[in-house]
Structure formats: C-alpha cells, structure tokens
C-alpha cells in the first residue's frame, strides 16, 4: 500500500555530543622547563537544535532519519587552547511541531514561527584543563576534568496543523468539496467515506486582500475519541484552530444529533475544545426548499450561528466567509 506523504508523528533516537576532556599539560620553554600548567579546556558537545521552516509541512523527511547523533567536542590542548566544539545538528520542522520525551511524555520544545530555533538537546560541557585549577598554593595542579556526557534517549516529534478554521464533520459531509471551492487546494473528492486520509490546508481569500487558513480534517465518526475510524490520530490538529466549522449535510437524517455526536467526540478527546468558537454549516442545501430550511434551522442549537451553503451552486459561500472572519476577529 502506498504510504502517505503526510507524516505528523515520528519517533527518533537522539544523542547530543559528549563534551571533550580538558587536559593536563605543563608548559616547557627553552629557559624554563617548569613554566606552569597550560592545559586547555575541552570543547562543548554538539547540540540538537529544532528550526522552524515554513516551507516544510510534514515530518516525512525524518521517517528514515531514525538516529540523530551530534558530534562530540574535542579535547583541549597545550598553550591553554580550547578543543573544537562538536558540530550542532539542525532539524528543520514544520510550524506547529511539538517535541516530547517518549518515556515521560513531557513537552520539551514547540516551534511556532519560521526561522525559530530552539536548542532541544544540549551537548555536554567540555571539561576544564589543569590551567583552570592553578592557585597560589597549588601552582602545578595534576588533574583536569573529563567532559560531560551528552544526553540520549528516544524522542517524539508531533505536528499539530496551524490553521485558523478547522472543518469538522462525518465522512462524506462535503468538507473536501467546500475546501476546493473556497481555496485553491485540490483535495481528493469521491463519493465514499474517508476520502481524506490526511489534513488538507488551504488559504481562503477574503475581502481587501485579507485571508485566513482553513484545514479539512479527516472525517470523524462516533467513537473517534477512543480510536475508532481514523481515531484520535487527527483530532489533535483541531487543538490549534481558532474556530471550528461543523459541516452537516442537508440529507442527514438528524442534523442536531449529528452535531451533538461530533461535539461529544471533541469533548471526550479534550474538554477544552468546547471553548472554541463554533459555526454550523448545512451543506448540499441546493437539495432543500424554503420549508425544509426553516425546519432544519429550528433543530439546530440557538446559541451557535448557522448557515446554509451549497458548494455546487456556491450559494452562501461569501456569507460563510464573512461569518467565519467576524467570529475569528470578534475580540480584536
């Protein structure tokens, strides 16, 4: 089976560089064989650094890069010369990437801006040479420090898509069709469930040169929060959205129940998702007459704004853009 180019989670083994040892060395000159200690410090081990790159949208490039091993620092040398630092390793990641320790699950770094650099795993410090230990009472120290070891372990990089609006709905609700109409994105569209197997991003052109980003997320089914269907694999992408657009098809047997199931799955996955701004869009509304539109509107929750749209006839598309823009910016 062909593998998807969209990879949003990767497991890698990382080891930062060991610090180089300081050395014990004594200066000897032509006229003074005991000119004193001059052992240099060891070089720092290489860091592993995460760097945000807006041109990277997946962790696919790390799929076959399972071992990230930074260079060790070099030992010091005579004449108080510090050893060369180990070469740092830079890992370019998409914006929205979170780095975690596999064992503890703790978040260690988060990349949100292009060009942002975070030292993820620090290299070991270089040891001090014996010149650093010279004192008036110990003018010829016989010891130097070893370098500190680097840090190693299995780590997890996890991508959460950065988008202003997330499209939420059951499979075949028309999310991909809507995305293809309001953006330049070209998602796969077909008349069967789970056509979309990875988040699809698109930029919506609004008025006066303004725009916002919308993400079509793989269809949720009842039980998704516990792993059914595509499970909670893609639910985490919703966590970064400012607003959620619930897409419910006009031919649904129970529009309110469908919304409540979607809302319940989000709550089971992360209760904080209920604090986001919601919009309900009834898709395929070209199938409805005025009487049915009125009846469906009465079913929907009164506190949540709703709109009837048709991606085929483009009915209500501009009104939907206006509604989403106003909701995203109502507190600004």
Residues 250-259: tens digit of each pLDDT: 988 899 999 9
Mean pLDDT of 101-121: 93
Residue 191 has what pLDDT?
Answer: 43
Pair 11, 155: CB distance under 8 Å: yes
**Taking 80 as the threshold, does the pLDDT of residue 127 lie above it?**
yes
Among the candidates 159, 176, 196, a domain finishes at 159
Whether 212 and 257 share a structural domain: yes
Among the candidates 125, 159, 193, a domain finishes at 159
**Lowest-confidence region among 48-62, 160-174, 219-233:** 219-233
Pair 164, 241: CB distance under 8 Å: yes
H or E segment at 257?
Answer: helix 255-269
CA dist 58 and 201 (Å) reads 12
- Residue 174 tokens read as 């028309």
Whether 103 and 31 share a structural domain: yes
pLDDT interval class at 34 (50, 70, 90) = confident
Whether 145 and 10 share a structural domain: yes
- Give the number of domains in the chain: 2
Residue 5 has what pLDDT?
Answer: 61
Beta strands 107-111 and 97-101 are antiparallel
Mean pLDDT taken over the chain: 84
Q: What is the DSSP letter of 262?
A: H
Mean pLDDT of 229-245: 70
Whether 315 and 172 share a structural domain: yes
Whether 147 and 190 share a structural domain: no
Residue 103 has what pLDDT?
Answer: 92
**Lowest-confidence region among 124-128, 191-195, 220-224:** 191-195
Domain span holding position 238: 165-328
**Taking 50 as the threshold, does the pLDDT of residue 225 lie above it?**
no
CA dist 92 and 83 (Å) reads 28
Residue 173 has what pLDDT?
Answer: 76
Whether 9 and 24 share a structural domain: yes
Residue 190 has what pLDDT?
Answer: 39
Residue 224 has what pLDDT?
Answer: 42
Pair 166, 201: CB distance under 8 Å: no
> What pLDDT, in 10s, does the model give residues 148-170?
999 999 999 988 877 888 888 88
pLDDT interval class at 195 (50, 70, 90) = very low
pLDDT interval class at 194 (50, 70, 90) = very low
> What pLDDT, in 10s, does the model give residues 257-297?
999 988 888 888 788 888 889 999 999 898 888 899 999 99
Whether 86 and 14 share a structural domain: yes
pLDDT interval class at 232 (50, 70, 90) = low
Q: Residue 248 sits in a domain of what CATH number?
A: 3.40.50.300
- Residue 8 tokens read as 């949003």
Among the candidates 159, 180, 212, a domain finishes at 159
Percent of the chain whose pLDDT exceeds 90: 46
Whether 134 and 226 share a structural domain: no
> What pLDDT, in 10s, does the model give residues 54-106?
888 788 888 887 899 999 999 999 889 999 999 999 999 988 899 999 999 89
Each residue of 229-245: b (16+ CB within 10 Å) or e?
bbbbebbbbbbebbbbb
Beta strands 152-159 and 9-15 are antiparallel
Q: Residue 10 sits in a domain of what CATH number?
A: 2.70.210.12
Whether 202 and 296 share a structural domain: yes
Q: What is the CA radius of gyration of the chain?
A: 29
Residue 214 has what pLDDT?
Answer: 86
């Amino acid at each position: 089976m062909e593998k998807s180019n969209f990879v949003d989670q990767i497991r890698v083994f990382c080891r930062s560089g060991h610090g180089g040892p300081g050395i014990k060395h004594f200066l000897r000159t032509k006229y003074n064989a005991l000119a004193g200690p001059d052992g240099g410090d060891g070089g720092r081990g290489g860091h592993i650094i995460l760097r945000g790159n807006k041109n990277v949208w997946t962790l696919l490039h790390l799929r076959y890069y399972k071992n990230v091993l930074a260079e060790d620092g070099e030992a010091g040398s005579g004449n108080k010369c510090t050893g060369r630092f180990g070469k740092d390793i830079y890992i370019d990641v998409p914006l929205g990437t979170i780095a975690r320790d596999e064992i503890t699950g703790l978040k260690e770094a988060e990349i949100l801006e292009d060009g942002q650099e975070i030292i993820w795993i620090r290299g070991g410090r270089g040891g001090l040479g014996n010149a650093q230990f010279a004192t008036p009472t110990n003018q010829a120290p016989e010891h130097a420090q070893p370098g500190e070891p680097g840090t190693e372990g299995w780590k997890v990089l996890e991508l959460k898509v950065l988008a202003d609006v997330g499209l939420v709905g059951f499979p075949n609700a028309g999310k991909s069709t809507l995305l293809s109409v309001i953006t330049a994105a070209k998602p796969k569209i077909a008349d069967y469930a789970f056509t979309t197997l990875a988040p699809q991003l698109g930029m919506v052109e609004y008025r006066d040169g303004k725009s916002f980003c919308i993400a079509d997320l793989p269809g949720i089914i009842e039980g998704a929060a516990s792993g059914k269907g595509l499970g909670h694999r893609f639910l985490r992408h919703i966590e970064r959205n400012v607003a959620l657009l619930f897409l419910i098809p006009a031919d649904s047997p129970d529009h309110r129940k469908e919304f409540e199931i979607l809302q319940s799955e989000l709550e089971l996955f992360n209760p904080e998702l209920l604090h986001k701004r919601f919009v309900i869009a009834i898709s395929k509304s070209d199938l409805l007459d005025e009487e049915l539109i009125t009846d469906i509107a009465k079913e929907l929750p009164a506190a949540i704004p709703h709109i009837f749209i048709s991606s085929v006839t483009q009915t209500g598309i501009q009104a939907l853009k206006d509604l989403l823009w106003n909701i995203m910016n109502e507190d600004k």
